[in-house]
Amino acid sequence: MKVLAPIAAHEELEMLAAAGAEELYCGIVPREWLERYTGAVWLNRRSPKGGSLDSYAELKRLVDDAHKLHLPVFITLNSPYYTAEQIPLVLELAHKLSDEIGVDALIVTDINLLMRLSQEKLACELHVSSVAAVLNTEAIRFLLNFGPSRIILPRSVTLAEIATITRDVGQQVEIEVFMLNDGCAFEEGFCSTTHHHTVGAFCTSLSEMDTQFEWAGKSFTTRRQNWLRRNLTDYREWVWYVNGNGCGVTPKGLPYGPCGLCAVPDLQRMGVASLKIVGREASPFKKLASVKMVRDIVNRTRAGVPKLHVIERAKQLRESPEHCAAGFMCYYKVDESA
């Protein structure tokens, strides 16, 4: 069970490695893509201005130095889909990343691209992105026809479902799950919008829109309107949590936000291969703090510390007992009696 960390610049490598990262993932938006499509059409699921490297030279230096530290580097080519015009350019990029740069895996969403890449005899492996919305064993069995070495499960998959998946196909493919920082009010694989750095996310701003309740041109009764407003208030609270607790930090500067730390002992028992920390576009400090938190819990779990003690430590690290108690920050509902 490895700690997978985001990285957006070579200068972050030494810091993340020292903090305990065991795998790295990043994006790149090369000059030829920007010249053809500008910043309006994304190559991967992050804005070119936010979380991607912009030169082959820096990526090559990052990959070479990461390999000296025995850290694999995965690259995101995980846009939900690519047009027929874009596919040849993406295939050419994939060969450069694999054969010249030496990346260890490409993270892919588009099933057409995955199929094409499986035929290209690349030197690197293929990982299926969470944006592909792989929700069950049968979906994984279908995708195995295209040779991926890893499946990244969406945030919405429960511990019970992860247990079933690892039991049924865990010997055939690695399973990666979310561990820290990323939340969404919807299933990302079914979302057709993007998170732009200047306008934010539609799913977050949706709950803040002015609301009127009526049906067929008639207003609801006062009692029903009050009930609906309470429901909307609860929804807004939940969206606030999945959006990183208002993107806030603890008094010590540690990130709030969605979290799966308490589930690490269960995930290790299930045979999960990798724990994903989200935040390619985050500040170096947030990445550092996130890796330290996850590695602390992973180390204790590997050492055989009892599950309840691990959970107690996880909640201490979050420094927000009221947020943990709310239950809205949790990726996974952990049975503390088991």
Domain ranges of the chain: 2-199+253-326, 202-239
pLDDT of 326: 79
Helices (H) and strands (E) in the chain, counts: 14, 11
pLDDT at residue number 157: 94
What are the structure tokens assigned to 142, written together?
């279908």
Question: What type of residue sits at position 137?
Answer: T
Taking a C-beta distance cutoff of 8 angstroms, is the pair 330, 238 a contact? no
CA 179/CA 275 separation, integer angstroms = 5
Query: What architecture is domain 2-199+253-326?
Result: Alpha-Beta Barrel (3.20)
| Residue 188: how many other CB atoms lie within 10 Å | 20
Amino acid at 160: A
What pLDDT was estimated at residue 195? 60
CB 1 within 8 A of CB 303: no
| Average pLDDT for runs of 10 along the chain of length 338 | 96 97 94 79 73 90 98 94 92 96 97 95 96 95 97 94 97 96 75 61 66 77 87 81 65 75 97 95 89 96 97 89 82 82
Identify the pLDDT of residue 304. Answer: 97
- How confident is the model at residue 244, as a pLDDT? 66
In this predicted structure, what is the pLDDT of residue 283? Answer: 86
Query: For the whole model, what pTM was predicted?
Result: 0.88
pLDDT at residue 218 in the model: 80
Confidence (pLDDT) at 189: 77
Query: What distance in Å separates the CA atoms of residue 239 and residue 250, rounded to the nearest whole number?
Result: 19
